[in-house]
A and B are shown apart, each in its own frame.
Chain A
């Protein structure tokens, strides 16, 4: 190991996931440019930013679903390499991910969805799997819904079933992709509370991608703010709320115009409408 790379690993010793100088884009469209982030063990970290700023892409990069065009991602000191399928799957067994709309298997019941990773990755007997699944469902308040089909549960319930599935194997990191989107106030409160409680109870590192400022600030230890493919702000919720940076202020206060323009870049409207000079 070169001295340079050793110092990098040492510097990120407490970080379960370290993103170092990562750039990524779809075709010619850049999404992330030279982004560096650290996610400390056991903490609940939020990645916030407007829609399309690359938040979900970050989760996909950490999970090795896509490969960065430059830079590297370390999980517990080991590089995430989408090219090495065997090593990647070994890493993914230590991760749990909650997708934006749950991504539950619609041909399976609530019980079987939560049992899925246990049946795939363990040699446990059905009696033991049953006990674990019921405990996980109990943790999200849905033990009574175990026998229901996926079509019979609401969006908020689906999110909680997906959360139970994500924690089935007791992962070291739980990644939440927009966990608050489309939820009614009660479901939103339940979900936010669950995320915080699970983080405290399991000691796992939690990573929330969201644009819901109040909910994230209520439960997270630290937050990054992304805009235009860069990290434009970072700190504790209190630090970010006190920030005078125009970009941070606009996002946190929800101001319609500011550094992030209301208008998508376009020629002057007079020119478009042919109204002359």
Chain B
């Protein structure tokens, strides 16, 4: 196996929470509120339910083949050529997602605190940091996360309490003003981003101490991540109302502006963004090494980081394109790799199992 490190199911759960909060902590409220308006919180709950279904699909698949990651599963279940094609799609998604998050990271810091720093510098530095973490291996990655996640969650809870004085429940009314459809429209981008993206964890599941607990811990992590996103969306809605939540680029930041606590959100973003980039880079380097039949994935981390940083400068021409891509295109684009292929593989694996049982 390429990765010799082992992490505990609890560490995997914490990792998935960080990954879910990743860039979503900043970008999800406006993406969801744009469609669902004051029902954005319902849309997040719907998206969490759908996200848990996606997590259940790929963890069930992984449980059937212990010790095998997504790339290996593709080859075992789909055969040589279709399998390597599906594997390639997965690797590409990890790389593309990584460079999109690097871009979000640079954009956000450029807009808030590092206004005079060229974005390329910010992007190169965060990519280098991710490369260093990936080179140290999965165990170190999980431990960094263990260290910082509790602190940052305390920050989020603190902020939530602080802004309660500005909250106004009237802003959530009327509930379901235009029926259920706007809620579904608002939930779609949130299903794709961040929930479907957790399919990258199929590269980490084989490294759990007790792989049997993968499904339980990842589902719990998904639920916790969804609950935290719900808190954040509620916070922006209650403080700013649906109209300005949808209009602002970074409503999470605006919601705490009155309390002069933006820096706390920025710290949160730096860490969660970094963690998400690291997971993407890890999934890409490990996936590519597995796909090409290499013995080591670590030498690939550095050039992969170079590609991510360089590509991040190319992926979007403007802010508007960035928002449109996240809100409209990402969901249909991510679904094949994160849900449709794993679901097809699960069905094929089950059918084959029945076949051999019936025949034997």
Q: Tell me, yes or no, whether A binds B.
A: no
